[in-house]
A and B are shown apart, each in its own frame.
Chain A
Amino acid sequence: MMLKRYSVLITRTWCAALLALSCTSLHAQVDTTAGAADDEDYGQYDNVGFADDGAKRFCSPKIEGLSPAKLISVGYDYQMGYQMIADSLRSQSPFAPWGNFNPDTGEVAYSHGLRLACNIPVVSKTSLVWQLGANYWEQQYEFKDGNSLSNPMLTALRDNGLRTMGINTTVFKPLNDKQFLLFQGSADMSGDFQLSKLMPARYLKYSVAAIWGKRPTERKQWGIGVSRTYRVGELNYIPIVLFNWTDASNKWGTEILFPARAHVRRTINSRNMVFAGYELEGQSYRLYRNNDPSANFDMRREDLEIRRGEIRLRLVYEFSLKGFVWMSVQAGYRINYRYDVDRLTDGAEIYRGFGLVSDAPYVMVNQLTNPLYFNISLNLVSP
């Protein structure tokens, strides 16, 4: 039986080889310029119909000219020198006999860190796109006068830096050839924790966004929605506006998800793009590590979170290094929006609603001066 199968296989292979040889001259090098001189009657394709009457078209998640989505990103972020003017602890801590430590100013020589992200399509169909992603960002602080710092927030930043690790998901659901729904959700662990000792899940921060949008042409998509976000450090519920557009010449466009980010795009060619605009970045970072066990002030018991939010005015140049490997180079100005500290007992969230819902005071109100910053990343981009 095995011998018989083997004989059939050999014979099939031999015949296929003969057939392939006989056809080699036909398809060894197929000319891509077939249309330049072929005798196809192209006019007949103006008048066509679907073979299947029930066929339905769905709009694409992309528009023409949009910068390519990043599947995998490895980057490095660098902020030049600035001052951190740290406040005293404004309300008595139940655990801190020395809770009224003094204000202190730290001279940051530079802050920097790795930024890793991946975003992999799980389902990628015309009728549904579902992606899962993960990210890791870190920010290490290098102080000029590190040994003389006394404020616990500054010493925690000096010794531990800040990290964000998270998972996220994006669902694009086209309703028809013009309308779509877009959902995004993420769960992030942010703080001064060690990678070897993560924080409990109750300190995760959840962000979500939902958008209804339209894609009236191949060059325009817009949408409106709502989001739950920590982009300015503390929790906010805000409306969002999506507006991606490319002009007829394909040279200019916008990539906007207001208020999170907004950029004007100048397309040099399909492999070189320049952007000018801003991004709102931020998260709520729990001070979780007890970096001075000999002291009576145990950070882990204080429920303190740094509400960090910053506006990054920037120029970005993105270009294809080779094929699907793109490089992104950013330079800009980092404007501190907030670097204040809240006390969140057992992780219970404070929602101020820009002061309309609550006027709960921060336990520390800190000031940061604004430096230039640079960011470089290597990216594998999506088809």
Chain B
Amino acid sequence: MVLILFGGLFSGFVQDTKEGDRLLGVWEPSNGRARVKVEKIGTKYYGKIVWLKEPTDPETKQPKTDKNNPDPGLRNVPLKGYRMLKDFVYKGKDEWADGTIYDPLNGSTYSCTIKMTDENTLEIRGYIGVSALGRTDIWKRLVVKK
């Protein structure tokens, strides 16, 4: 009986993991300003900036850093490699939640949910407090050309 229970649990867990891992890969927000690689650390999903349309700060002529971060100690952190999506958990039904999205343009962090509408399209909704006070962006999956 216990074995059957464990077996059922394990197969369910594997299935959830497999479905959740569909988020892994490289994605582009609708504005085309950045490319974000989603990775998995433990059971959670994170997205880091791997490409910037304008990688150089026009003022400093140096690679862009997180200069709008409210924490002065983090303003020299390079934007390339920055984890702008954090702590997402797969909830089933093509949805990842409990995470946050960071907007380097204004230094704000928003609550966020991710909905996969098809294998190559994400609806990313950042919001303040309640989902109604938010904005949805469409991200498209990219493939790296060899």
Contacts and interface: CB of A to CB of B under 8 A. Distances in A.
A20 B127 CA distance: 27
A293 interface: no
A270 B107 contact: yes
A27 B43 contact: yes
Interface in B74-89: 74, 77-83, 86-87
Contact of A38 (B5, B81, B86, B137): B81
Contacts of B87: 27, 30
Given A27-B41, A32-B82, A269 B145 contact: no
A121 interface: yes
A71 to B, nearest CB: 6
A249 B58 contact: yes
A26 B120 contact: no
Contact of A124 (B80, B107, B135): B135
A52 B25 CA distance: 14
Interface in A10-31: 11-12, 15, 19-20, 23-24, 26-27, 30-31
Nearest to A38: B81
Contact of A120 (B6, B68, B133): B133
Nearest to A61: B135
A177 interface: yes
B80 A42 contact: yes
A26 B45 CA distance: 12
Which of A7, A32, A52, A218 is most buried by chain B, counting CB atoms within 10 A of its CB?
A32
Interface residues of B, number: 66
B145 A49 contact: yes
B137 to A, nearest CB: 6
Interface string A61-85: 0001100100100000000000000
A121 B134 contact: yes
B103 interface: yes
A127 B123 CA distance: 11
A36 B8 contact: no
A1 interface: no
A124 B59 contact: no
A337 B123 CA distance: 47
A23 B123 CA distance: 28
A65 B120 CA distance: 30
Contact of A48 (B31, B44, B48, B145): B145
Contacts of A20: 43
Interface string B94-105: 000000000101
Interface string A43-58: 0111111111001011
Interface string A120-140: 110011110100000000000
Nearest to B36: A45
Nearest to B128: A324
A271 B107 contact: yes
B31 A30 contact: no
A74 to B, nearest CB: 15
Interface string B120-144: 1101011110001111111011111
B92 interface: no
A8 interface: yes
Contact of A218 (B31, B74, B134): B31
Nearest to B124: A126
Interface string A172-200: 00000100000000000000000000000
12 contacts: A30-B83, A40-B50, A45-B50, A47-B144, A52-B120, A52-B121, A60-B30, A64-B105, A121-B133, A124-B135, A323-B108, A324-B108
Given A32-B74, A65-B105, A270-B105, 20 more contacts: A8-B5, A27-B43, A27-B44, A33-B82, A35-B78, A40-B48, A46-B51, A50-B28, A50-B140, A52-B118, A57-B32, A124-B125, A124-B135, A124-B136, A126-B136, A126-B137, A127-B138, A382-B135, A383-B127, A383-B128
Interface of A: 7-8, 11-12, 15, 19-20, 23-24, 26-27, 30-36, 38, 40, 42, 44-52, 55, 57-58, 60, 64-65, 68, 71, 120-121, 124-127, 129, 177, 218, 248-249, 269-271, 323-324, 380, 382-383
